[in-house]
Structure 1
Amino acid sequence: MASFSPFGGVPGESYLFRVLGPFEVGDASRPVRIPPGRQEVVLAALVLNLNRVVDVSSLVDLVWGEDPPATARTQIQICVSGLRKILATGGVDATVETRAHGYLLIAPEDSTDLNRFRGLVRAGRELARAGDPAAAIELLRAAEQLWRGPSLTGLPHEAIANIAASLDESRIEALEVCLRLELELGRHEQLVSELQRLVAEHPLRERLRGHLMVALHRSGRQAEALESYQQVRRMLADELGLDPGKDLRDLADAILADDPDVTGGAEATGGAEVEVAPALAASERVVPRQLPADVVDFVADDTLIKEICTALTPSLQRAAATVVLLTGGPGVGKTTMATHVAYRLADDHYPDGQLYCDLRGTCGQPLGPAQVLGRFLRALGLPGQAIPEPLDERAELYRSLLADRRILVVLDDADNEAQVRPLLPGSGRSAVAITSRNRLTSLPINGRFGLEPLGGDLAVQLLGQAIGESRVLDEADAARVLVQLVGGLPLALRIIAARLAARPHWPLSWMVRRLQDEHLRLDELAHGELSIRASLRLSYEGLAAPDRRLLCLLALADGTTMPSWVGAALADDRGPSPADLLDPLIDLRLLEITAMDSAGEYRCSLPQTVRMFAHDRLTAEITPADQAPAIRRLVGGWTALVEQAHLQIYGGPYTIVPGQAEKWHLPADLVRRQLMDPLAWLESEHENLANLVNLAAKSGLDESCWQLATTLVTLFEARGYPELWESTHRVALEAVRAAGNLRGQAAVLRSLGALHLSRGEYGAAGSYLDAALKLFVDIEDPSGRALCHRDQALIQRSSGADDAALAQYELAEQYFITAGDIVGRAHVLVEMAHILIRMPDFARARSSLDEALGICRSVGFDRGQALALRRLGQLLTCQGEFSAAERTLQEVLAMVRASGDLVGEGHILHDLGRLSIRLQNAEQAMLYLTQAVTIRESLLDTGGAAAVRADITTLLEQRKGQGPLTSTACLR
C-alpha cells in the first residue's frame, strides 16, 4: 500500500466539529451546546468553510433566504459575538475572526470529521488511479466509518438541508467507487447483502443497482440480477415515466448474454462504469498553458494564499465547478495573485491545462462571452471551422470539452455576471478563478476574497526583492516611509521599485522626497506602461456622472473611515437609505467597506491612492463655488448629530452656549440608530469630528466650527481627551477671531478656561474666564455668564474661599434660571452642596442634592445623577453612615463604568478608598486607591494623582504602626 496520511487521525477519534451525522461541537468527552436557531446555522456555515472567509451576505442568505430583515447584518454580528464566547467558554480550540466582508473560523484542518472524510476519499481515489485498489478500498472504507447518520442532523433549515443533501451525495458517491473497486478484486459474494441494503435505501440510484446486478450475476444468481433490473425499470416507469439509463440497459443485456466482461471477476469493470467517449480522442487532446508569466518577486500574505488555494482545490462535495472570486481596488494585485495561485495548483490539481483571458472589464470595451469562448475552444484544440456561431452552442461545446478534464480557468478583470456566466464549466473537476473590481454577487461563488494593500513588513519585503535587500536594509526608515506614502499598494510599490532599479545609484530617500508632495505623487507613480493614475482612470471613467462627482466630493471628508451617510450629505440626497449612493463606488472597490457600526450601517474609507486621485479630479472638475454647498452639508450633518448626542446625554439643550450653525438633518430612523448610545457614538467618531473642526475653520464656517468644538467637550470631559479639547479649541478660537464672531470667541474662551480648571491650572483658567465673561456681558448672554460664574466658583474653592465660591454659585444659579437651563442649575446645586458639606451644613447640603437629583432624573441626565449621588455618598460618609455611603458610591461606580466615564471612575475609586480606610479595611482601601491613581495618571491629571498618592502614603504609614486606620478628611 502506498504511504499516505491525509490530516492524520483515525476513524472514531474525537473532532472539534462533527457534521457527518448530528451537528455536534466540542470534544467527545466535553460537548459544547450551541443554542438552536441562527447561531447554530451560522456556526455550521463557518465549519463547512473551515479556514475560509464566509461573506456576511452569504450568512444572511443562509439564515433568512430571500427576505432578510433590515437588521440582518447586525444580527449576524450578534450571533458571531455569541459564538466567540461559547467557543472560548467551552474550551474549543477555534476562533472566529472578522475579515473585511465576512468571518473566518480558524481551527486545525483535522478538527472536523468532514475534512477527514474528504482527505481519505481524495487519497483513495488517487491510489485507485495509481493502480493500488486494495489500498484505495482501505481508505474509502475508513471514510465511510466516519458517518454517524445523515449529515447535519438537527438543523431543520432549508439552505442547510441542501448542503446536507450534497454532503450525503458525496458519501454515497465515495461508497460507489469503493464498491466498484471491490467488485474488480472479486469480492462480489461478500458485497451482495450490503448492496441489497443500499439499493433498498436508494432504489433509484442506477450505479448502485448496477453494482448489485454485477455482484449477483458473478455469484451465480443471474435470475436475481435480472429481476433487480426489472424492479428498477418498473419503478422508474411508474414514478418518473422514464426508462433506465443506457449504461444500466447495456449491463442487463450483457448479463442476459453472459458477456465475459461482466463475468470476468477481477478483470471486469463492473459494467455500470462505461464511459462516453470524449469529443476529442486522448491522443489528440491539447493541453492549454495560457497563464501569463508569474511574478518573480511575488509577495503576499501566506495565510491568504493558502485560503485561496484551498478554495480552488477540487472538492468532492461539489458537483459543479469550483468558482472563486478575487476582488479589490485598482493596483491591489488581483491579477498577480490569481496568476500565482494558478501556477501553484496547475501541476497537482489541474494537469489538463490552464485557460486565461483578460476580459477587459475596466477598459470600456469588455470582451463578449462568445468571443472568449471562441478563444478557449481553439485553445482546447478545436479547429476554427468546427466552432459554432451562437453563444449557447459555444457554451455547450465548451462545457462538454471540459466535462472530463481538470482545467483551471482564470478570468481576469471581469465586468459583470452576464459576461462570466457562459464561461463557467459544468463539471466539478474544473475550477475558475475570477478577478474583478465588481462583486458579481449573483454568480455561484464558492469563495470570495477581498484583496487589500500589503502590510508594512510585506511591502518592505516586496521592495527588497525588487531592488535588493541590502539596498532596503541600508535605508530601512526611507523604505517604510515609501510604503506609507502609497498605502502599501502593490502596483505603486512595483512602480517605485522599477524606477529605483533603473537608477541603482539613487538612494531611496530621493524617491521619498519626490513623493512627499501629495499633489504630484500620482505623476511620480508612473514608469513605462505602469501607472497608478491610468489604472484609476479606467475605473473612474466607467462610473456614471453623479458617481464620479460623488467620488470627487468624498475627498473633502478627511479621516481614516467615514459613516455611509456622508455620501448622502455631499450629494444632498435625503432618501431613506443614504448608504445606497455609495454602492457603485464600493462595487468598483474605489471605496472600501471597513466595518459595521453599532447602528448596522457600514463604514467606508478611500484607499490612499484613490483619495489622491479623487482630490486631483475634485480640483480639476468641481469649482470652489460648487464645493462650498457640499462642505456646508457635510459639516451640517455632523453638527446636527453632535448636537443631538448632547441633547440626549443632558436631557435637553443644557450647559452649552447656543449658536446658529447651519444643520443638515439625516433621516430620523438613522439618527435614532446612530445615537442609541450617544457618548459611545461621540467617542467612536472623535477623529472625524476633530478633523471636521479643521475643515469648518478652513472653509470659513466659523459658527459651525466653535459650536462643534465646544459641544464636543461633552466627550472630551467624560472620556478624557485633553489634547483634542485644546487642539480643536485653538483652531476654533482662531476662526472666530478672524470672523469677528463675539459669541463664538466668548464660548471658546470659556471652554478653554474649563480645560485649564480640569488640569488644576487655576491662574490660566481665571484669565480665560475673565475674558469670556466680559464678552458675554457685552452681548448679554445669560447662558455664557452662568457658565463663567460656575467655573469661577471652582477657582475660589481651590484657594479655600468657600464664601466667595458660594456667591459665584448663587450668581450662576440665577443666570441658569434666566436662560431656562435646569441642568446647569442642578450642577450648581451639587457643587454648592459640596461646600455646604465642608462647612458643615448637612441639612442644606442634603436639600440641595435632593433637588439636583430630582432635576437630573426628570430629564434623564445620567451623568448629573452620578455627580449628585457621589456628593450624597460623601455627605453620608461625613455623617458616619458608612454602610449607606458605601452602597451609594458603589451605585455611582457602576454608573460611571457603564458609561465609560474614566474621569468619574477615578474620583469614585478615590472616595471608596477613603471610605474603606474609615471601615478599617486596609487591603480594600489599597486596591481602590491604586486603581484610582492609575486612572488619574492615564488622564494626565497630575494634581488628582498626587492627592491619591498622599492617601496611599498615609495608609502605608498607618499600617506599619499597627494602629487603627484614620482618614483626615471625609471628602475631596
Structure 2
Amino acid sequence: MVIESDDERSGASGTRNELSGQVGGNVVQAGVIQHLTFAAQEPPVAEIPRQLPPEPRDFVNRVRELDELDRLLDEGGDGSAPLVAVVNGLGGVGKSALSRRWAHRVRERFTDGQLYASLGDLRHGGGVAVSDVLGGFLRALGVREAGIPADPSERAALFRSRTADLRLLILLDDVEHAAQVTPVLPASGSGVVVVTSHSRLGELVVTGAVPVPLAPLDEEQGVRLLAGVLGEERVHAEPQAAGELARLCGGLPVALRVAAARLAQRRGRPIARLVTELTDERRRLERLAVGGKTIVEAVFETACRALPPGAGRLYRLLGAVPVADLSVQAVQVVAGTGERETEESLELLEANLLEETAQERYRFHDLVRLHAARLAEREEAPGEREAALGRMARWYRACAMAADRAVTRSRLRLAPAPEPVEPEVTFSSARQALDWLEGERGNMLAVLRLAERAGWDDVVWQTVEALWVLHHSRKHYADWIEAGRLGTLAAGRLGNRAAEARMRNQTARAFVELGELGPADEELRLARSLAVESGDRRLEAAVLESLGQVELARGAFDAAIGHFTEALAVNEALGRTRGAGLQSYHLGLTHTAAGRPREAFEAFERARGLIGAEDETSRAKIDIELGLVHRMLGRPEEIVGRVTEAARTMRARGVPLKEARAWEILAGLTADLGDERGSEEHLRRAIAVYLDLGKTAKADELGGRLPPPAPEDS
C-alpha cells in the first residue's frame, strides 16, 4: 500500500487517501482513525454432507439393476472423469426408489459425502434450477454464501474446483435434459453421479454415461410389493385377486402403492372388489387415486407437459388407435406426417412414454395407453381422431392386399387393385409377406373391428378378402371366423351380394377345417344363393368347391366328387386354368380318401399341369399328396425327391402345417424303402413342426411311431 500527499491535487485540505497495487486481507480507508482492531476469522470447517433422502420402504426385486450399478462402481473408470449412470424409465416405475436404495447400500464408500437434489422440486426454468442445485451443493461443501458467485458458469467452475480431489456420490433425481447434469459433474475421477429421468438422456450416454433402463415389475414382484404394504396374510388370502391387481396396475410401483393405500384404508375390503372396479378401462386411472388425488394420472400428465408440440399430438393420436403395438411405418400413418417429422415426434420415446418392443416397433404401457386415450378424447378434435383412424385402416387394407398378391399372384379377387399409400410396404417373397401378416395379425383384427364400428364397410370386406392367404396358411381359426363375420356384416350393409357370398364362403372353410359342418352348411347355403344372384360364376365355382370340402369331411365321397366336378366345369368354361387345376387337386384328395389311388394319381398329375410351375406353393401341395398316392401304389422311390423339395418349399414360404405333413409322408416313404434312419429323422422333423404349432396331440401320435430309446449301459 502506498499513501501519498500532493497539495496540488488534494484540494483544500491538502490530504490525499489513495490505494493501489496488490492487496490481500482487510483494508480500511478513512479520514481520521482514533482506534482500530482487526479480529481475524478462521474459515468455516465444512462437515461431510450426507444429503440422501431416507431409504425407500417395501422395496422389492430390482436385483439386476442394483447389480449393474454395483458393477459400474466396482469396475470404475479411467480416473479422468466421474462415473455417470442414467436410471431411466416410465414415470412411477420406481427410478427414485432404486437409486436411493443403491445409494444407501454404497454410501460408506464415498468418504467425502453424498449430495442430493430433486430437480423436479426446483424446476422453474432450465438453467435457473441447475444454478440453484450448484448453490446448494457449494453450501454443503462449506462455501460461505458471500463466496458463491451469482453467475451460473462461475458457480459451476467453483464447484469443479471444490470437488477436484473429493470422492463424492451425487444423486440427481427427476432430470429432464442432459444440460441439467453437465454443470453438476464433479471434477474428481473418483466420484459417481446417478441420474434418474423419464428420458434416456442420449447426450449423456454418448459422452460415456451408462444407461440403466427400468421396466415395470412382473406380476410376482407386484404381488410382493402389495404384501409389503398390506401384509402377507391379506394377500395370501386372495392370491388370484392380488395377481390380477398387479396386472391391472401394469407393474408400476406408483400404481401398486396407490391401490394398496386404498385397500389399507379399508381393512375389511376384499382385494377382488378393487380389481372389479379397475377392470373398467375407462375409469381405471381415476380410480387409482387416494384422497381424491389421481396420483398415477398426475405422473403421466407431468411427463406429457414436457413433450414438444408434435410429440404431444402424436401421443394423443396414438392413444386413439386401438392396437397393441405399431411399426414405425404405422406410426407415420397415424401421425399423417412425413418420415422425418414422425421421427422427430417420436421424441416421446425418449420420455419413456412409448416403449420400443422390437426393431422399430412401439407400444404403450397399459396405463399410459389409457391416459393417452383420455387425452385424445379431451384435446383432439373428433375430426382429427377419425382422420388418423381412417388413414390407419386404409393403410392396413393396402398392405394386406399387397401381401396377398405377393403370396399368390393369380386367384379370385373381387376387390379392386389397392390404392397407393404412403409409406409403401413391399414384399420380396411370399414368406416375407406371410410373416408380415402374422406379425400384424392382432392389429389387423383390431382395425377390422374399428372399421366395422365406423361403418367403413368397403375397407372391412376388402381387407378380409386379402387376409385369406394368412388364415388359410397359418390356421388362426378364431381370427379367421371373426374376420369373416365382420366382412359378412359389412358386405351385407352395402348390399354387395358378391362380396357377401365371398365372405360367407371364406368363413365356411374355417368351419370345415374345424369339423363344424353344421355352421359350414348354413354359411354355404346362403353363399350359394348370393353367388347366383350376383351373376358371378367365379363365385359359384368357389362355393361349389367349399360344398365339396364339406362332403369330403363327411366321407360322402361321391357327393364331394360331384361338387368338385361341377366346379371344374365352370372354371373350364370361364377359361380359368388355375381354378380348374385346384378342382383337380380336390378331386385327387377325394379319390385318395376313398382308397382309389389310380384315379387320385391321374387327378393330381392333371392338377400339376394346369397349375403351372410359377405357383410353387400349389405345386408343392400337390406333390406332398402325390407322395401318399405313390405309397398306396407301391412306388415310393419315384416321388421321394419331389416330396423332399415340397417340404423345403413349404418351409421357405412359411406354411408350417403343409411342411409338417410333407415330413410325415416322407417318413413313410423312406420306411418303405428300408431307410429306417432317414424315416426317423423325417418323423422327428414333423413332430418338431407340430409342436411349434401347438398341435401336441398330433406330435404325440407321431411320437408313438418312433423307436424306443436304446437302454443305457449299466
Match of 1:16 in 2: none
Deviation at 1:812, TM superposition (A): 3.3
AA at the equivalent of 2:146: Q
After superposition, give the CA deviation of every residue in 1:102-133 in whole Å (9 maximum; x if it has no partner).
xxxxxxxxxxxxxxxxxxxxxxxxxxxxxxxx
Match of 1:615 in 2: 373
Among 322, 327, 332, the alignment partner of 1:558 is 322
- Verify the 8 A CA contact 1:852 1:868 in the aligned structure 2: no
Distance 2:66 2:294 in 1: 24
Distance 1:892 1:676 in 2: 15
After superposition, give the CA deviation of every residue in 1:32-80 in whole Å (9 maximum; x if it has no partner).
xxxxxxxxxxxxxxxxxxxxxxxxxxxxxxxxxxxxxxxxxxxxxxxxx
Distance 2:150 2:574 in 1: 82
Q: Please, what TM-score do these two structures have when normalized by structure 1?
A: 0.62
1:372 to 1:909, Cα distance in 2 relative to 1, 3 A: same
AA at the equivalent of 1:912: L
Match of 1:359 in 2: 119
Match of 1:414 in 2: 175
Match of 1:232 in 2: none
- Verify the 8 A CA contact 2:332 2:339 in the aligned structure 1: no
The answer to which of 672-681 and 685-694 deviates more is: 672-681
| Aligned pairs (5 A) from 1:461-476 | 461-476=224-239
Deviation at 1:666, TM superposition (A): 3.3
> Which consecutive unaligned segments of at least 5 residues does structure 2 have?
1-41, 708-714
Among 434, 442, 447, the alignment partner of 2:210 is 447
Q: Secondary structure at the match of 1:492?
A: helix
- Verify the 8 A CA contact 1:312 1:433 in the aligned structure 2: no
Distance 2:228 2:429 in 1: 46
Among 519, 524, 531, the alignment partner of 1:769 is 524
| Aligned pairs (5 A) from 1:146-295 | 284-295=45-56
Alignment of 1:536 onto 2:536: no
Among 64, 69, 89, the alignment partner of 1:303 is 64
Give percent identity, aligned residues only: 28
Q: Secondary structure at the match of 2:321?
A: coil
1:550 to 1:836, Cα distance in 2 relative to 1, 3 A: same
After superposition, give the CA deviation of every residue in 1:622-660 in whole Å (9 maximum; x if it has no partner).
3444322211111111111111111111125x24x4236
Q: Secondary structure at the match of 1:388?
A: coil
AA at the equivalent of 1:553: L
The answer to which of 497-506 and 587-596 deviates more is: 497-506
- Verify the 8 A CA contact 1:661 1:707 in the aligned structure 2: no
1:796 to 1:473, Cα distance in 2 relative to 1, 3 A: closer
Alignment of 1:630 onto 2:391: no
After superposition, give the CA deviation of every residue in 1:661-686 in whole Å (9 maximum; x if it has no partner).
98672334x54489871112222222
Deviation at 1:295, TM superposition (A): 0.9
| Aligned pairs (5 A) from 1:680-759 | 680-738=435-493, 740-759=495-514
Q: Secondary structure at the match of 1:284?
A: coil
The answer to which of 879-888 and 626-635 deviates more is: 879-888
Alignment of 1:427 onto 2:188: yes
1:308 to 1:338, Cα distance in 2 relative to 1, 3 A: same
Alignment of 1:331 onto 2:92: yes
Deviation at 1:590, TM superposition (A): 1.1
- Verify the 8 A CA contact 1:362 1:538 in the aligned structure 2: no
Match of 1:644 in 2: 402
Aligned Cα root-mean-square deviation (Å): 3.6
Distance 1:561 1:936 in 2: 28
Match of 1:500 in 2: 263
Match of 2:287 in 1: 524
Q: Secondary structure at the match of 2:92?
A: coil
After superposition, give the CA deviation of every residue in 1:202-255 in whole Å (9 maximum; x if it has no partner).
xxxxxxxxxxxxxxxxxxxxxxxxxxxxxxxxxxxxxxxxxxxxxxxxxxxxxx
Q: Secondary structure at the match of 2:116?
A: strand
Among 344, 352, 355, the alignment partner of 1:592 is 355
Alignment of 1:570 onto 2:305: no
1:793 to 1:941, Cα distance in 2 relative to 1, 3 A: farther
Distance 1:537 1:474 in 2: 35
- Verify the 8 A CA contact 1:551 1:614 in the aligned structure 2: yes
Count of matched residue pairs? 660
Q: Secondary structure at the match of 1:352?
A: coil
Distance 1:506 1:881 in 2: 74
After superposition, give the CA deviation of every residue in 1:527-552 in whole Å (9 maximum; x if it has no partner).
25771111111122222333323212
Deviation at 1:352, TM superposition (A): 1.0
AA at the equivalent of 1:665: V
After superposition, give the CA deviation of every residue in 1:426-471 in whole Å (9 maximum; x if it has no partner).
2211111111122221222331011111111111111111121211
- Verify the 8 A CA contact 1:472 1:479 in the aligned structure 2: yes
The answer to which of 399-408 and 285-294 deviates more is: 285-294
Deviation at 1:487, TM superposition (A): 0.4
- Verify the 8 A CA contact 1:327 1:439 in the aligned structure 2: yes
Q: Looking at both structures, which has the greater relative contact order when contacts are Cα pairs under 8 Å and sequence separation is at least 6? A: 2
Deviation at 1:290, TM superposition (A): 1.7
Deviation at 1:913, TM superposition (A): 4.2
> Which consecutive unaligned segments of at least 5 residues does structure 1 have?
1-280, 597-601, 957-972
- Verify the 8 A CA contact 2:81 2:188 in the aligned structure 1: yes
Match of 1:173 in 2: none
1:373 to 1:530, Cα distance in 2 relative to 1, 3 A: farther
AA at the equivalent of 2:636: F
- Verify the 8 A CA contact 2:601 2:629 in the aligned structure 1: no
Deviation at 1:489, TM superposition (A): 0.5
| Aligned pairs (5 A) from 1:59-98 | none
Deviation at 1:592, TM superposition (A): 0.9
AA at the equivalent of 2:648: A
- Verify the 8 A CA contact 2:504 2:527 in the aligned structure 1: yes
Distance 1:409 1:875 in 2: 77
Among 878, 885, 889, the alignment partner of 2:643 is 889
Q: Secondary structure at the match of 2:358?
A: strand
Distance 2:162 2:294 in 1: 37
- Verify the 8 A CA contact 1:706 1:747 in the aligned structure 2: no
Distance 1:563 1:471 in 2: 42
Q: Secondary structure at the match of 2:223?
A: helix
- Verify the 8 A CA contact 2:508 2:519 in the aligned structure 1: yes
Distance 1:933 1:763 in 2: 31
- Verify the 8 A CA contact 1:660 1:703 in the aligned structure 2: no
1:675 to 1:927, Cα distance in 2 relative to 1, 3 A: closer
- Verify the 8 A CA contact 1:633 1:663 in the aligned structure 2: no
Among 371, 377, 390, the alignment partner of 2:138 is 377
AA at the equivalent of 1:565: Q
- Verify the 8 A CA contact 2:123 2:129 in the aligned structure 1: no
After superposition, give the CA deviation of every residue in 1:890-929 in whole Å (9 maximum; x if it has no partner).
2222222333423213432443344345435678667766
- Verify the 8 A CA contact 2:51 2:114 in the aligned structure 1: yes
- Verify the 8 A CA contact 2:95 2:214 in the aligned structure 1: yes
Distance 1:427 1:813 in 2: 85
Q: Secondary structure at the match of 2:543?
A: helix
- Verify the 8 A CA contact 1:882 1:919 in the aligned structure 2: yes
| Aligned pairs (5 A) from 1:806-845 | 808-813=563-568, 816=571, 823-834=578-589, 838=596, 840-841=598-599, 844-845=602-603
Distance 1:674 1:492 in 2: 46
Distance 1:674 1:355 in 2: 59
Match of 1:490 in 2: 253
AA at the equivalent of 2:102: V
Deviation at 1:938, TM superposition (A): 8.5
Distance 2:122 2:506 in 1: 52
Distance 1:487 1:519 in 2: 15
Distance 2:429 2:168 in 1: 49
